[in-house]
Structure 1
Amino acid sequence: MLPILNKEFILKKRDSGVHEKTFSFPEKILQFGTGVLLRGLVDYLVDNANRQGIYEGRIVVVKSTEGDTSEFSSQDSLYTTHIKGISQGELVDKVIINAAISRVLQSNANWQEVLQAVHQPALHTIISNTTEVGIQYVPEKVTTGVPSSYPGKLLAVLWERFSYFKGSANTGFVIVPTELVVDNGRLLKDIVVQLAVYNEMPATFVDWIHTDNYFCNSLVDRIVPGKPRNLSEIAIRAGYTDQLWIEAEPYLLWAIEGGEHIREVLSFYKGDDRMLIADSITPFREQKLRLLNGSHTAAVPLAFLSGLNTVYECMQDEYMSHFFRSVVLEEILPTIADSCPTATAFATDVLDRFANPFIAHKLISITFQESSKMNARNVRTLIRYQEKYHALPSHLCLGFAAMLLFLRPAREENGKYFGNRGQEEYVITDDNAPIFAAWWRDHTDIPAMVAGICSDQRLWETDLSAIPGFSAEVAAILASLKNEGVKAFIQSQLQKK
């Protein structure tokens, strides 16, 4: 029978990389969320810094979802991070045992312990990932019972800290939400202050929130698929069982808005130059939105309709790999390179990440809300490209045309729309599906239909028909895709290369 990954096992395992002194480090971080993103990114960075002797702090984690914490307690909160993928064209396959977490508390069962945790003077950081819907205002009393919302829990924690230290200066927190919301730190602070007013808390406490606490906007980027399917086989190879084992890609980015005080408190950033603390994170958000998310949105409808199913398959396909490289390096990158200093390096990383053989990122999943994503991610790029070169980006035009074909419904049932890929049916999960269905239903003339769609103000942030030649180019491509078939169209493009 294989041993369980825990403190006793680690101290006997000489090659674990975990030192005994790690278990005596003080708790410096309160973390809301046990999910794989935090464990694969934030907790990875803390553990990495501890190994280098930089930080020497641990994390007390709050589990807000239902269920016990026995998986963590039985393993002394140790877990394995398996980093797998492509970095700078080279295969990465590395296993690390993470000892950053000291304990995990369930919010309902252990709420008093959560509050007591902030009595520790060394604890000066709060981190969260409670999903995008977690940062929302819920009017509730926070000093009686366990608040239901994350902002409510955070306010209760701040009140406990303020009360315990009697409002002393320099007792506040650096608070870093990692939820994927623009200006997440500012939004969280606004809600916490609003909730404090709702709870009729003293003005001195609200002033303390403003003057002694730092709510930082942040951006996280790492694919962490989580627990592998073949965990039992992996355990045999590893020589121990670990129910918390997670997989992660080599790439990571954590960009945080802040100055010198933030760097001082989050000193574990020194252990990895991919954790960045800067005056503005806008360039990092822009390059992720345009290069990674934008190229996905541009390429996926065409790739899916051609018969491919994952991003990795795209990177193994002759035409789609060319499409991804062209749209990333030749069409999107030139439009942001001047405003995003790290965009060129990021573009190379993006292509490596797409080629990761260990991540099966399904194309049909990426098509969720395809038209809204096209508007948010690629419309601005189209405009910038045309303004810079007085020409149209050919691959983005092709991607736009393929999107229109993807959103062409074959049938509608109970408000749901379905498209066809050959003999296979797929669900069109797009809030704008009824709009596109109406355009396809009411127009047999493709140029007229495309012109109408391009000028439809319900769909785009601007009138796309005003971009010189765009509507006509998209209509010509769409007619070819529809009449020839996607596979035949792609084959004709390969012959031109």
Structure 2
Amino acid sequence: MLPKLSKHHVIADKASGIPPACFDYPEKILQFGTGVLLRGLVDYLVDKANKQGIFQGRVVVVKSTDGSTADFDSQDCLYTTNIKGQEKGQLVNRRLINASIARVLQSNADWSKVLEAVRQEQLNIIISNTTEVGIQYVEEKVDGVVPASYPGKLLAVLLERYRHFNGAADKGFVIVPTELVVDNGRLLKDIVLKLALFNEMEHAFVQWINTANTFCSSLVDRIVPGKPKDLAAQNEAAGYEDGLWIDAEPFLLWAIEGNAAVAERLSFKQADERMLVAEDITPYREQKLRILNGSHTAAVTVGYLSGLNTVYECMQNPVMKRFFDTVVLEEILPTLKDLGPQTEVFAKDVLDRFANPFIEHKLISITFQQSSKTNARNVRTIMRYYDQYKMLPPMITIGFAASLLFLKPARQEGGKFQGKRGDTFYDYNDDNIAIFAAYWHGVNIVDKAAVAAMVQQVLGDSRLWETGLHEVPGFADAIAEHLFGMLQQGVSVYVSNYSKVH
């Protein structure tokens, strides 16, 4: 029987890289959430810094969901992070033990301990990931009770801090939400202040929230699949039992909007240049939206309708690999030169991430809200590319046409539209599918003129696109040509033949 991962285990094993002093570091971070993203990104960075003697602080975690914390308690809050994937063209598979977490508290059962932790002077950072739903305004009382919402809990924590230190101006927090919401820091602050007003908090406390605390918007980017399917085999290879084991890709980015004082407080950033603090993180959000998300959206329906099922399969297919490479490096990247030189590095990292054999990213999942994502991610790229080169981006244009084909319903079952790939039907998760169904209805797919007329109507629909795509010179004709070719030849054959001559 394997021994349980424990403090005793890592102290005895010098290869763990964890200096015994790590366990005596003070608690500096209050973290709301035990999820794999926080453990694979934020806590990974804290642990990395601690091992280098930089931050010298640990994390006290608040478990927001009901249930025991025994899984953490039983192994001294230690866990394995197995970094697996492709980095600069090379496969990476390295294992490390994370010792950043000091303890885990259950938000309901241990609320008094949470408030007690806030009284520690050195605990001056708050980080959260409560999912996008977590940053919502809920009218509730927060004083003397356990608030239900995360903003409610945060307000109660701030109140406890304010009271304990008598409103001292230097005892505020740096507060960094990591939920995938644009301007998450500003949004969280607005909700907390609104909730303070609902609770009729004293003016001096509200002023303290505003002036002594810094709410920082942030952008996180790392795929953390979590517990591996072959956990027993991984434990056997490691020589210990770890029920909290997580896998994570090599890539990471954590961009935080803040000033020099924020950077100084978050000193664990010094351990990894991929964590950064900047006055404006818009360029990092934009590069993720256009390059990572945009290339996904441009290529997903081409790959799926060609018979492939995952992003990794696409990167192993010569035609689709070239498609991704061209979209990322030749069509999107040139339109983002104003974002800075880091964008080219990011673009190459994205292609490495797509080629990660350890992550099963299903194409059908990526088609969620395909039409609105095409509008949000790629329409502006098409316009920028045309303005810059006076021509259309070839592969993104093909991807757009494939999206129209993907959104051509084959049948309606139980009031829901379904598409068809080969002999298999697939479900739509697209709020605009009824609009596309109406456009496709009655179109003779072997009549090139009929297909072109339908395309012209779709591209001119202001409900779908932020700009009139039918007015972009040559775009409607190119989409109609590609779409008609795919309808007659099939997507795989058409794209393969097109790639050979372009």
Q: Same fold (TM over 0.5)?
A: yes
How far has the Cα of 1:443 moved from its partner?
A: 3.7
Q: For 2:255, what is the secondary structure of its paired residue?
A: strand
Task: Render the CA deviation track for 1:49-105: whole Å, top value 9, x for unaligned.
Answer: 000110000000001012111110001100000001111111111111000000001
2:228 matched residue in structure 1: 228
Instruction: For 2:171 and 2:67, locate their aligned partners in 1 and report how far apart those are by CA, in whole Å.
Output: 32
Q: Is residue 2:231 matched to residue 1:210?
A: no
Instruction: For 1:81 and 1:125, locate their aligned partners in 2 and report how far apart those are by CA, in whole Å.
Output: 23
Q: Is residue 2:479 matched to residue 1:470?
A: no
Task: Render the CA deviation track for 1:280-319: whole Å, top value 9, x for unaligned.
Answer: 1000000000000000000000100100001000000010
Instruction: For 2:26 and 2:129, locate their aligned partners in 1 and report how far apart those are by CA, in whole Å.
Output: 22
1:492 matched residue in structure 2: 497
1:166 matched residue in structure 2: 166
Instruction: For 2:417 and 2:129, locate their aligned partners in 1 and report how far apart those are by CA, in whole Å.
Output: 33
2:179 partner amino acid: E
Q: For 1:385, what is the secondary structure of its paired residue?
A: helix
Q: Is residue 2:323 matched to residue 1:323?
A: yes
Equivalent positions of 1:41-440 (< 5 A) are 41-440=41-440
Contact 1:177–1:184 (CA under 8 A) maintained in structure 2: yes
1:488 partner amino acid: V
2:447 matched residue in structure 1: none
2:451 partner amino acid: I
Q: For 2:103, what is the secondary structure of its paired residue?
A: strand
Q: For 1:338, what is the secondary structure of its paired residue?
A: helix
1:477 partner amino acid: H
How far has the Cα of 1:428 moved from its partner?
A: 1.1
| Structure 1: tracts of 5 or more residues without a match | none
1:29 matched residue in structure 2: 29
Task: Render the CA deviation track for 1:369-389: whole Å, top value 9, x for unaligned.
Answer: 111110110010001001111
Instruction: For 2:405 and 2:443, locate their aligned partners in 1 and report how far apart those are by CA, in whole Å.
Output: 14
How far has the Cα of 1:12 moved from its partner?
A: 1.6
Q: Alignment partner for residue 455 of structure 1, among 439, 453, 460?
A: 460
2:441 matched residue in structure 1: 441
How far has the Cα of 1:490 moved from its partner?
A: 2.8
2:120 partner amino acid: Q
TM-score by length of 1: 0.99
Task: Render the CA deviation track for 1:300-341: whole Å, top value 9, x for unaligned.
Answer: 001001000010000000100000000000100010122233
Instruction: For 1:144 and 1:431, locate their aligned partners in 2 and report how far apart those are by CA, in whole Å.
Output: 43
How far has the Cα of 1:139 moved from its partner?
A: 0.8
Instruction: For 1:430 and 1:78, locate their aligned partners in 2 and report how far apart those are by CA, in whole Å.
Output: 41
1:267 partner amino acid: S
Q: For 2:465, what is the secondary structure of its paired residue?
A: coil
How far has the Cα of 1:489 moved from its partner?
A: 1.0
How far has the Cα of 1:13 moved from its partner?
A: 1.7
Q: How many residues align?
A: 497
Contact 1:228–1:246 (CA under 8 A) maintained in structure 2: yes
How far has the Cα of 1:415 moved from its partner?
A: 3.2
Instruction: For 2:381 and 2:147, locate their aligned partners in 1 and report how far apart those are by CA, in whole Å.
Output: 43
Instruction: For 1:365 and 1:448, locate their aligned partners in 2 and report how far apart those are by CA, in whole Å.
Output: 30
Q: For 1:247, what is the secondary structure of its paired residue?
A: strand
RMSD: 0.9
Instruction: For 2:491 and 2:443, locate their aligned partners in 1 and report how far apart those are by CA, in whole Å.
Output: 21
Instruction: For 1:257 and 1:490, locate their aligned partners in 2 and report how far apart those are by CA, in whole Å.
Output: 42
2:195 partner amino acid: L
Q: For 1:103, what is the secondary structure of its paired residue?
A: strand
1:472 partner amino acid: D
Instruction: For 1:146 and 1:413, locate their aligned partners in 2 and report how far apart those are by CA, in whole Å.
Output: 46
Instruction: For 1:27 and 1:173, locate their aligned partners in 2 and report how far apart those are by CA, in whole Å.
Output: 13
Range with bigger deviation, 128-137 or 138-147: 138-147
How far has the Cα of 1:168 moved from its partner?
A: 1.1
How far has the Cα of 1:495 moved from its partner?
A: 3.9
How far has the Cα of 1:462 moved from its partner?
A: 1.1
Instruction: For 1:375 and 1:99, locate their aligned partners in 2 and report how far apart those are by CA, in whole Å.
Output: 43
How far has the Cα of 1:491 moved from its partner?
A: 3.3
Percent sequence identity is 62
How far has the Cα of 1:260 moved from its partner?
A: 1.1
Task: Render the CA deviation track for 1:26-69: whole Å, top value 9, x for unaligned.
Answer: 00000001000000000000000000110000000001012111
Contact 1:290–1:381 (CA under 8 A) maintained in structure 2: yes
How far has the Cα of 1:144 moved from its partner?
A: 3.5
Q: For 1:255, what is the secondary structure of its paired residue?
A: strand
Instruction: For 2:188 and 2:477, locate their aligned partners in 1 and report how far apart those are by CA, in whole Å.
Output: 45
Contact 1:287–1:340 (CA under 8 A) maintained in structure 2: no
Instruction: For 1:452 and 1:442, locate their aligned partners in 2 and report how far apart those are by CA, in whole Å.
Output: 14
2:164 partner amino acid: Y
Contact 1:284–1:340 (CA under 8 A) maintained in structure 2: no
How far has the Cα of 1:494 moved from its partner?
A: 4.5
Instruction: For 1:286 and 1:80, locate their aligned partners in 2 and report how far apart those are by CA, in whole Å.
Output: 32
Task: Render the CA deviation track for 1:431-483: whole Å, top value 9, x for unaligned.
Answer: 11111111101444111111111111111111111111111110110000011
Instruction: For 1:369 and 1:217, locate their aligned partners in 2 and report how far apart those are by CA, in whole Å.
Output: 25
Task: Render the CA deviation track for 1:334-354: whole Å, top value 9, x for unaligned.
Answer: 101222331111111000110
2:9 partner amino acid: F
Instruction: For 2:6 and 2:175, locate their aligned partners in 1 and report how far apart those are by CA, in whole Å.
Output: 30
Instruction: For 2:466 and 2:155, locate their aligned partners in 1 and report how far apart those are by CA, in whole Å.
Output: 37
Instruction: For 1:66 and 1:411, locate their aligned partners in 2 and report how far apart those are by CA, in whole Å.
Output: 43
Q: Is residue 2:15 matched to residue 1:10?
A: no
Instruction: For 2:332 and 2:317, locate their aligned partners in 1 and report how far apart those are by CA, in whole Å.
Output: 21
Task: Render the CA deviation track for 1:232-267: whole Å, top value 9, x for unaligned.
Answer: 011111100100000000000000011111011100
2:477 partner amino acid: A
Instruction: For 2:345 and 2:102, locate their aligned partners in 1 and report how far apart those are by CA, in whole Å.
Output: 36
2:83 partner amino acid: I
Contact 1:286–1:340 (CA under 8 A) maintained in structure 2: no
Contact 1:83–1:248 (CA under 8 A) maintained in structure 2: yes
Q: For 1:42, what is the secondary structure of its paired residue?
A: helix
Q: For 2:365, what is the secondary structure of its paired residue?
A: helix
Q: For 1:59, what is the secondary structure of its paired residue?
A: strand
1:463 partner amino acid: G
